[in-house]
Structure 1
């Protein structure tokens, strides 16, 4: 198994995809955190003065001490998570495209061993992407949000752990999509359209027209975003245990501001997205155990 993992690591290091996707992940995580940090730093103006007063009254906090930095960090990390997901697509779909999958399967003791080596290797890449995403999202937030409005040490550690978990699961999710599709182009286009456009439209329409404020918490992208975003929402009593006096519209607005509309809590989001990941990765695993590679 050790040799198989080394082989998988060499495959990724000798291609441009790992750093070619890490660069935009850095740019987007920093850029979105920087931009959103400018917005949420003036929290009273962003939510409206009456909402701000209601919220600070419920929380018992000074308006200048609200940890709005969590909202900016969550947005940056969540947008950056799409890139390790795309990177995961290359794990199997890339090998089918380059016609190297036969060699990979035939030089391993069995397909299960080859797929396990890929899983372990890409978990490591997911952790790397997670750490980098959190660091650059944090940098973008620090440059725009007042110090008193930044998360405390415990909250930052929570965001770091949640960010790493989200990108690791996203990488495995991408592997599953690519394993089922076998086409890098088809998988990436489908993921981008669904994750960034289709699901967001569904969530907004469902909330505005059908009053389904929870839909985003159960769909794949919404659940993935909720792993980190719900930590920001929870800091304002808008996820997990809802504070008395916080109306539903303000709650959903705070979840939206954290990039996780409909999120229940960070751990519930992790379980839900973990279920989606298991379904896609498991299906991809099963299909590739039986697929003809000639």
Structure 2
């Protein structure tokens, strides 16, 4: 079976199940509500309309729009990561990998097909995340009389890089799924690392001398660097200057490549039971 045929087969398997659109819906709701809440807090604070003596982390008004628009990637990246992981581990869990390999005897081709579909679905998730973040954020900025920066090329470049980052996260997920065959274990590993381990390491990097140089190369930090802005930096999670956007993209690509390579060698070529 050719790569094109295998890719169509993988796309059909993914799109005929409910998992992808449920995750997409949760992504839109999660990113949209986060952008609305953060947008109101920061826009009201920057415009001097945050009453009751409340305060928000200080953000220059001219850098507020990119910060809010980046929320789709900085808080929503776990969703393409999960869908990429589920694309592979679901095959092991539901024992559909045997007919997959019977239809595509070359296992490398089967994995490449998942990579292609993963990148496409990751890009779609990225588009949904950008819309969910930019929509309420731009509306709130305009409502408080602040510049939405939608006429600036830098804002659109940030949105484009968000799509790239989300596609790369889906590839990382495919690599994780190929390496960790058990679906429950893979999901626990993904959530534990993205929601607890890395945020704690990045927070520690802002206080421990020298550690911040290493935490810049963590996958979440690399993704934020690729996008070009992150709420995490404002909240005190970045001690040193982030990588250049292209450096962040390269680091995230390396993570995906290494996980896919190790997963293929250590797990993908093993016997299927």
- Mapping for residues 99-138 of structure 1, pairs under 5 Å: 99-138=95-134
Q: Deviations over 1:201-234 (max 9, x none)?
A: 1111232233633343211222123222xx237x
- Mapping for residues 189-200 of structure 1, pairs under 5 Å: 189-200=188-199
Q: Is the 8 A contact 1:97 1:183 kept in 2?
A: yes
Distance in 2 between the 1:255 and 1:198 partners? Answer: 14
Distance in 2 between the 1:128 and 1:277 partners? Answer: 18
Distance in 2 between the 1:214 and 1:258 partners? Answer: 18
Q: Is the 8 A contact 1:225 1:259 kept in 2?
A: no
Distance in 2 between the 1:24 and 1:276 partners? Answer: 26
1:149 aligns with 2:151: no
Runs of 4+ in 1 over 4 A off after TM superposition: none
1:4 to 3, 6, 29: 6
Distance in 2 between the 1:6 and 1:114 partners? Answer: 11
* TM, length-normalised to structure 2: 0.86
Structure 2 unmatched runs, 5+: 49-54
Q: Is the 8 A contact 1:226 1:260 kept in 2?
A: no
- Mapping for residues 1-294 of structure 1, pairs under 5 Å: 1-41=3-43, 42-43=45-46, 46-47=56-57, 66-146=62-142, 148-151=146-149, 152-210=151-209, 212-228=211-227, 231-232=228-229, 256-257=233-234, 261=238, 262=240, 263-294=242-273
RMSD, matched Cα: 2.3
Distance in 2 between the 1:123 and 1:47 partners? Answer: 35
- Secondary structure of the 2:211 match is coil
Distance in 2 between the 1:67 and 1:206 partners? Answer: 23
Alpha-carbon offset, residue 288 of structure 1: 4.1
- Secondary structure of the 2:248 match is helix
Q: Is the 8 A contact 1:40 1:68 kept in 2?
A: yes
Distance in 2 between the 1:216 and 1:141 partners? Answer: 29
Q: Is the 8 A contact 2:107 2:269 kept in 1?
A: no
Q: Is the 8 A contact 2:178 2:268 kept in 1?
A: no
Distance in 1 between the 2:111 and 2:29 partners? Answer: 31
* TM, length-normalised to structure 1: 0.80
Q: Deviations over 1:12-58 (max 9, x none)?
A: 1121111011011111211222222123222386455xxx7xxxxxx
Distance in 2 between the 1:76 and 1:114 partners? Answer: 30
Aligned residue-pair number: 258
Distance in 1 between the 2:235 and 2:251 partners? Answer: 18
Distance in 1 between the 2:57 and 2:25 partners? Answer: 33
Q: Deviations over 1:44-85 (max 9, x none)?
A: 86455xxx7xxxxxxxxxx65x13111112123321111010
CA 1:182–1:255: 2 relative to 1, 3 Å:
closer
- Secondary structure of the 1:195 match is helix
Alpha-carbon offset, residue 2 of structure 1: 2.3
Structure 1 unmatched runs, 5+: 53-62, 234-253
